[in-house]
């Protein structure tokens, strides 16, 4: 029951989306996520710009606007926001119907989690040996500044992906400020901004 | 953090696979309004007494240090400490089942409905707010590095490589990572400025 969504990617005609029913493509995609898994420093959000480049530019699964939407869902929904990979996998196979989309979402999420989980299992079981090793201290201190640089680059990338008007930039900067200065749940910010958007006060373009 | 009173009572026996699954499921469901980390501590340490506060904090340290989402890594740590690989996978399934199913439903609804104009209008506001959250991530951890000029240089170099020179993430980490580790390699007497 493939419900045809007519113009899913009308705007990006130049970039041909790959078909996920071709196992060759599927394996390529799984490999992309598997190989990124161990580079997710600082809790996973450091990979967002990479996800954007894979999903929007490399494979053309979704548009940049859709990426912004999906990122918002992953942030708003309960659970870790790195589950965005499941939504990307879903977008990748949406053309082949919802069942494929679901399978592809699960496959993508499994691929991104598997390597880091296996490393984490080994780390948990041998932590007492790592604890005071100079490697651990160098890694912990060295990766901090790198994570910082990546997070700023990722924040800017998401900002440019989501915002196209001065008003939208203003909303983002305000939310950023409130996130840093208050303990208000971000769900409120998204809720209020959603209402303003629904009323037509914030528009995408 | 609130060590004293919890550590006096004895710990429960090591949880079975089944208990691990349902414990993590409970953590995931309890945290639907947010605060996954706090719920995880409340349930694992205070209610079920699987771990002492100290063991839990060690787990958080390991979870933050290694690649992967922190909360998922924490579940893996809890599972692995009690039941090895099987425990880790069961804990992972427990913590992910409900939130991931929820997100997949949301995704299905989105891909069916995103062409609808009113949905698009609401989302145009939501994404602006979400982008603000993304922007805040760097600022949130920046405070601990500003007094270390070398850290600032590393961060700036990584930022420029990604943002201005459009390098890919993996090569950037593979180059900057070893350099930073060499610089911060623990040496006796020299530069012991623990943040």
Question: How is residue A12 written in tokens?
Answer: 């990006």
pTM of the full structure? 0.89
Identify from A5, A138, A148 which residue to disrupt to test chain B contact, counting B C-beta atoms within 10 A and taking the largest count: A148
pLDDT of residue B188: 65
pLDDT tens, residue by residue, A39-60: 998 888 899 999 999 999 999 9
pLDDT of residue B2: 44
pLDDT of residue B189: 53
Residues of chain A with pLDDT under 50: 1-13
B-facing residues of A in 9-68 (CB < 8 A) are: 35-50, 53, 66, 68
Partner-chain residue, chosen from B99, B111, B118, that has the shortest CB–CB distance to A91: B111
pLDDT of residue A144: 93
Q: Residue B60: its chain A contacts at CB < 8 A? A: none
User: Which residue in this structure is represented by tokens 């995408």?
Assistant: A204
Domain with A87 in it: 14-128
Contact status of A85 with chain B (Cβ, < 8 Å):
no
Question: Between the CA of residue A71 and those of A77, A114, B105, B119, B148, what are the distances in Å?
Answer: 10, 21, 15, 15, 32
The torsion angle over the Cα atoms of residues A45, A47, A48 and A51, rounded to 10 degrees, is -150
Of B188, B177, B125, whose CA–CA distance to A144 is shortest? B177
CB atoms within 10 A of CB B166: 8
Q: Do A204 and B124 touch (CB under 8 A)?
A: yes
Of B6, B87, B2, whose CA–CA distance to B49 is shortest? B6
Identify from B34, B132, B166 which residue to disrupt to test chain A contact, counting A C-beta atoms within 10 A and taking the largest count: B132
Q: Do B158 and A146 touch (CB under 8 A)?
A: yes
Instruction: Give the nearest chain A residue to B168 (CA atoms).
Output: A50
Q: Do B169 and A39 touch (CB under 8 A)?
A: yes
Of A157, A112, A11, A9, whose CA–CA distance to B92 is shortest? A112
Q: Do A71 and B120 touch (CB under 8 A)?
A: no
CB A6 within 8 A of CB A15: no
**Distance from C-alpha of B107 to C-alpha of A31, rounded to nearest angstrom:** 23
| Domains held by chain A: number | 1
In a domain, A37, yes or no: yes
pLDDT in tens, chain B (195 residues): 444 444 457 888 999 999 999 999 999 998 887 777 888 999 999 999 999 999 999 999 999 999 999 999 999 999 999 999 999 999 999 999 999 999 999 999 999 998 898 999 999 999 999 999 999 999 999 999 999 999 999 999 999 999 999 999 999 999 999 999 999 999 865 555 554
Of B45, B65, B47, whose CA–CA distance to B55 is shortest? B45
């Amino acid at each position: 029951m493939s419900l045809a969504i007519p113009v899913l990617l009308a705007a990006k005609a130049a970039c041909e989306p790959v078909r996920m029913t071709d196992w060759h493509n599927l394996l390529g995609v799984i490999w992309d996520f598997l190989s990124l898994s161990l580079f997710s420093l600082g809790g996973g959000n450091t990979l967002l710009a990479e996800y954007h480049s894979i999903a929007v530019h490399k494979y053309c699964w979704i548009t940049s606007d859709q990426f912004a939407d999906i990122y918002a869902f992953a942030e708003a929904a309960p659970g870790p926001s790195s589950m965005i990979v499941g939504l990307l996998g879903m977008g990748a196979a949406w053309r082949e119907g919802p069942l494929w989309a679901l399978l592809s979402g699960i496959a993508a999420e499994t691929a991104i989690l598997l390597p880091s989980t296996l490393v984490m299992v080994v780390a948990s079981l041998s932590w007492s040996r790592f604890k005071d090793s100079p490697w651990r201290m160098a890694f912990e201190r060295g990766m901090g500044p790198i994570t910082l640089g990546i997070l700023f680059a990722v924040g800017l990338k998401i900002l440019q992906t989501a915002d196209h008007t001065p008003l939208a930039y203003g909303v983002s900067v305000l939310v950023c400020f409130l996130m840093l200065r208050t303990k208000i749940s971000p769900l409120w910010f998204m809720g209020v901004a959603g209402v303003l958007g629904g009323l037509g006060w914030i528009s995408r373009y | 953090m609130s060590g004293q009173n919890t550590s006096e009572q004895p710990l429960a026996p090591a949880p079975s696979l089944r208990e691990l699954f349902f414990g993590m499921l409970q953590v995931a469901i309890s945290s639907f309004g947010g605060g996954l980390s706090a719920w995880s501590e409340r349930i694992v340490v205070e209610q079920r007494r699987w771990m002492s506060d100290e063991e839990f904090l060690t787990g958080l340290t390991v979870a933050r240090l290694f690649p992967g989402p922190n909360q998922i890594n924490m579940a893996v740590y809890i599972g692995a400490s009690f039941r090895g690989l099987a425990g880790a996978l069961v804990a992972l399934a427990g913590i992910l089942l409900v939130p991931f199913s929820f997100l997949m439903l949301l995704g299905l609804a989105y891909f069916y409905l995103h062409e609808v104009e009113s949905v698009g209008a609401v989302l145009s506001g939501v994404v602006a707010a979400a982008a603000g959250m993304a922007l805040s991530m760097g600022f949130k951890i920046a405070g601990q590095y500003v007094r270390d000029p070398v850290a600032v240089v590393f961060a700036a170099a990584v930022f420029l490589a990604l943002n201005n020179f459009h390098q890919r993430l993996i090569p950037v980490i593979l180059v900057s990572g070893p350099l930073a580790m060499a610089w911060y390699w623990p040496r006796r007497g020299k530069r012991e400025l623990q943040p």
